[in-house]
């Protein structure tokens, strides 16, 4: 069982560049989430999806876009990266009444 897979694991971007982070889950979960983790801040919700074709804003959505064209995939896009987006990004999925299943994270550095 792969569970939740995030790609890439690491990335370095220059300010203004764009990129897409991919999250894939093989558990047929309805709900998917993107979090960022910064020192002393805990996990903060960027965007989430309650099903294929749906997305919604979380606590810190600015500078990010998401898409959920297929149930198993949840993409996080940065159109114009900024140093403030240097962080570790975690994707998670769940089904009704279940806890979150997390991916292994993507460490992004924006210089």
Partner 1 sequence: ILNVEQSPQSLHVQEGDSTNFTCSFPSSNFYALHWYRWETAKSPEALFVMTLNGDEKKKGRISATLNTKEGYSYLYIKGSQPEDSATYLCAFWVNDYKLSFGAGTTVTVRA
**Which residue, 44 or 71, has its beta carbon nearer to partner 1?**
44
Which of 21, 36, 46, 48: binder of partner 1 (CB under 8 A)?
A: 48
Window of 9-17, 18-26, 41-49, 73-81 that interacts with partner 1 by CB under 8 A: 41-49
Structure tokens at 61: 């959505």
Window of 12-20, 40-48, 64-72, 74-82 that interacts with partner 1 by CB under 8 A: 40-48
| CA 79 – CA 64 distance, rounded (Å) | 7
Q: Is 99 in the site for partner 1 (CB under 8 A)?
A: yes
**Which residue, 15 or 54, has its beta carbon nearer to partner 1?**
54
Residue 30 and residue 50 in contact, taking contact as beta carbons nearer than 8 Å: yes
The runs of H, that is alpha helices, within the chain are: none
| CA 98 – CA 63 distance, rounded (Å) | 30
For the chain, the helix, strand and coil percentages under 3-state DSSP, each to the nearest 5: 5, 50, 45
User: Which residues contact partner 1 (rule: CB under 8 A)?
Assistant: 31, 33, 35, 40-45, 48, 50, 56, 58-59, 90, 97-105
């Amino acid at each position: 069982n792969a569970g939740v897979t995030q790609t890439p694991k690491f990335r370095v971007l220059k300010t203004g560049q764009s990129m897409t982070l991919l999250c894939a889950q093989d558990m047929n979960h309805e709900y998917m989430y993107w979090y960022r983790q910064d020192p002393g801040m805990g996990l903060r919700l960027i965007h989430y999806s309650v099903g294929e074709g749906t997305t919604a804003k979380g606590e810190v959505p600015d500078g990010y876009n998401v898409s959920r064209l297929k149930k198993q995939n949840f993409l996080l896009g940065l159109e114009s990266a900024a140093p403030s987006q240097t962080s570790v990004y975690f994707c998670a999925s769940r089904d009704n009444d279940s806890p979150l299943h997390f991916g292994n994270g993507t460490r992004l550095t924006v210089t």
